[in-house]
Chain A
Amino acid sequence: MSDFLRSYLTVAILGGAAFLLVGGLLGLGRLIRPRRPQPQKYIPYESGVDPVGTGWSQSQIRYYVFALLFVLFDVEAVFIFPWAVRLEELALFGLVEMIVFIVILALGLVYAWRKGVLRWV
């Protein structure tokens, strides 16, 4: 197995070990903890009064547009990282290209800003 695959195998083993540890602790808790069901215990908490309506009530998500902007900029970040590693070799050419890229994306942010997307409504 190559070193590259092996380094990721180690990460996968860490994930498995963490899962075993957490699952083991939950299992231990199951053995130790008491279980005395009473109907009142299973009412969703709503500051002490009986819950009104369902817990999955409608609410206005005011920042869903931010999530769309986030996708845009997250992809940008993914593009920037390989460039950042190789900047020494790419030198001036890479720098100019990336600054053009960043400026275009910054223009997108300015556009969203002007359109009032970043304003709290």
Chain B
Amino acid sequence: MLALSYPVETAIKMGAVLAVIPVGALILVYVFLFKMMSHMQSRLGPMEAGFHGTLQPVVEGVKFLQKEDLIPNGADRRIFALAPLVVIIATFLIYAVIPAGPDLVISNLDVGVFYALAVGSLSVLGVLMAGWASANKYSLLGSLRAAGQLIAYELPLVLAVVGVVIQAGTMSLSGIVEAQAEGEIFGFGGIGNPYILTQFIGFALFVVSSQAELTQAPFDMPIAESELVAGYMTEYSGFRFLFFFIGEFATAFALSAIAATLFLGGWYFPGLGTDGALANLAGPIVLMGKIMLMAFFIFWMRFTYPRLREDQLQTFAWKWLIPISLVNIAVTGVLKVAF
């Protein structure tokens, strides 16, 4: 890697990540929300703007840019205006620790995955702010549902990661990728040891909980359109609405990236090595492939299953996922010490 001075290096990293996040979110919007959902429902989806509607996300963005920005009477104006910013900046901050190659990471924090989960849960604050400040019954109910759901599923999400941390012996995401790349399966080290093989229970817990954290169907009660119009987003219009929308997909992108890093080996591809130019060049492409795989799975669930009831959601988290994740931690710990 070239030796750059800190300000130059940071400026390049900021430019790259600020470009990658919206583009990544728009790719998810186009590929999964516009096209995959349409084809699963036997229709074509957008076809006019660009080849097979590829420019449709850009068109939507420009459309929202021209919309009037309405703040309802009686709303807490300052909090109302601030809430989408809290959500989207919390989402941006998750990307600081996701490695796209041996040297391609904004900041390789020692507490990597812990930081990512902590920052990721900040968006609950923005959701509560939005719901309360709107002075609208639908918004208030939606944000309370969102808060109840996000705290219930935060726990299995965090506890599912502990198994991976036990196996890798580090919380740094780069360290976890290297531990997987250097791992062996019963003495065979050809493909490393992606933790999905040994932590498949943790993987299942992580995927289910991230589905709930993203408030996607079957866990989309906070924005259930048939009951609450649009939940906490009901009163938002124009660009502030777009921030919530982009924030949702950017979070989906980030959680897919974290799942790919923790369980699928991240940027590592067997045979390409763990350092040097080749790994740095191929890393982002490999990671993108794994992200799309994870996102495909998440959105497949979203388009397939009907909505749960609020009490079923809480029961599922507290009576199933949390006990299972505690047992998973204990079993992983025993196996780690035994072997």
Chain A residues within 8 Å of B, Cβ to Cβ: 4, 6-8, 10-11, 13-15, 17-19, 21-23, 25-26, 28-30, 32-36, 41-47, 51, 54-57, 59, 61-63, 66-67, 69-70, 73-74, 77, 80-81, 84-88, 91-92, 95, 98-99, 102, 105-106, 109, 113, 118, 120
Contact = CB atoms under 8 A, between A and B. Distances in A.
A113 B319 contact: yes
B134 A34 contact: no
Contacts of B132: 56
Contacts of B33: none
A15 B119 CA distance: 11
B155 A15 contact: no
A120 B311 contact: yes
A95 B134 CA distance: 49
Contacts of A42: 70-73
Contact of B72 (A44, A84, A88, A91): A44
B109 A11 contact: yes
Interface of B: 6, 10, 13-14, 17-18, 65-75, 85, 88-89, 92-93, 95-96, 106-110, 114-115, 132, 134-141, 144, 147-148, 151-152, 154-155, 158-159, 162, 165-166, 169-171, 229, 234-235, 238-240, 243, 310-311, 314-315, 318-319, 322-323, 326, 329-330, 333-334, 336-337
Contacts of B336: 87-88
B92 A61 contact: no
B74 A102 contact: no
Contacts of B318: 66, 69, 109, 113, 118
A8 B109 contact: yes
Contacts of B70: 41-42
Contact of B151 (A10, A26, A35, A70): A70
A55 B337 contact: no
A110 to B, nearest CB: 9
B137 A106 contact: no
Contact of B74 (A8, A45, A55, A69): A55
A22 B243 contact: yes
A56 to B, nearest CB: 6
A46 B137 contact: yes
A81 B114 contact: yes
A18 B93 contact: yes
Given A74-B155, A85-B169, A120 B315 contact: yes
Nearest to B148: A63
Contact of B89 (A22, A41, A69, A91): A22
B171 A28 contact: no
Given A33-B65, A34-B66, A87-B333, A44 B314 contact: no
Given A22-B85, A81-B114, A32 B66 contact: yes
Contact of A59 (B17, B115, B144, B154): B144
